[in-house]
Structure 1
Amino acid sequence: MKLKCLSLMLLLGFVGSFSLMAQQNETKLPPEATEFYEPKVKPVSPGNENHLPPADAIVLFGGNDLNAWVSERDGSFPKWKVEDGILTVAPRTGGIKSKEAFGDVQVHIEWRAPSEVVGNGQGRGNSGFFFMGKYELQILDSYNNETYSNGQAASIYKQHPPLVNAMRAPGEWNTYDAVFTAPRFNENGMLISPARITVFHNGILVQNNVELRGPTQYIGIPHYVAHEEKLPFHIQDHSNPVSFRNIWVRKLD
Structure 2
Amino acid sequence: MKHLFLPAALLVSVAAYAQGKPEDTEVYEPVPKVVAATPNLAPPPADAIVLFNGKDLSQWVMTEDRNTPAKWKVGGGMFTVDKTTGNIETKQSFTNYQLHLEWRVPANITGTGQARGNSGLFLASLGKGDLGYELQILDSYNNKTYVNGMAGSIYKQRVPLANPCRKPGEWQSYDVIWLAPTFKADGTVATPARVTVIFNGIVVQNNVELAGPTQYIGPAAYRQAHGASPIKLQSHGDKSEPNSFRNIWIRELEARP
- Provide TM-score, normalisation by structure 2: 0.88
Aligned position for 2:75: 83
Partner of 1:247: 248
**Range with greater deviation from structure 2 (188-197 or 21-30):** 21-30
Aligned to 2:232: 234
Q: Secondary structure at the match of 2:134?
A: strand
1:222 counterpart residue number: 220
Shift of 1:56: 0.9
The secondary structure found in structure 2 opposite 1:102 is coil
Q: Deviations over 1:149-197 (max 9, x none)?
A: 0000010000001100000000000000010000010111111100000
Contact kept, 8 Å, 1:105 with 1:181, in 2: the verdict is yes
- The answer to whether the aligner puts 1:119 opposite 2:105 as a matched pair is no
1:176 alignment partner in structure 2: 174
More helix by share: 1
Q: The residue matched to 1:144 in structure 2 has which SS? A: coil
Is the 8 Å Cα contact of residues 39 and 172 (structure 2) preserved in structure 1?
no
Which of 55, 65, 68 is the equivalent residue of 2:56?
Answer: 65
| Cα pair 1:185 1:226 within 8 Å, conserved | no
Cα distance in 2, alignment partners of residues 22 and 113 from structure 1? 39
Alignment of 1:1-253 (within 5 A): 22-47=13-38, 49-75=40-66, 76-133=68-125, 134-239=132-237, 240-253=241-254
Which of the pair has more CA radius of gyration? Answer: 1
CA–CA separation in structure 2 for the residues paired with 1:62 and 1:118: 29
Match of 2:129 in 1: none
TM-score (norm 1): 0.90
Aligned-pair distance for 1:225? 2.6
Q: Percent identity?
A: 51
Any stretches of 5+ residues in structure 2 without a counterpart?
A: 1-6, 126-131
- What is the CA deviation profile of residues 34-64 of structure 1, one whole-angstrom value per residue up to 9, with x for unaligned ones? 1110111111010354311111110001200
Superposition misfits of 4+ residues, deviation over 4 angstroms = 16-22
CA RMSD of aligned residues (A): 1.7
**What is the Cα deviation at residue 17 of structure 1?**
11
Structure 1: which 5+ runs fail to align?
1-15
> Number of paired residues?
238
* 3-state DSSP of counterpart to 2:27: coil
The answer to whether the 8 Å contact 1:108/1:175 transfers is yes
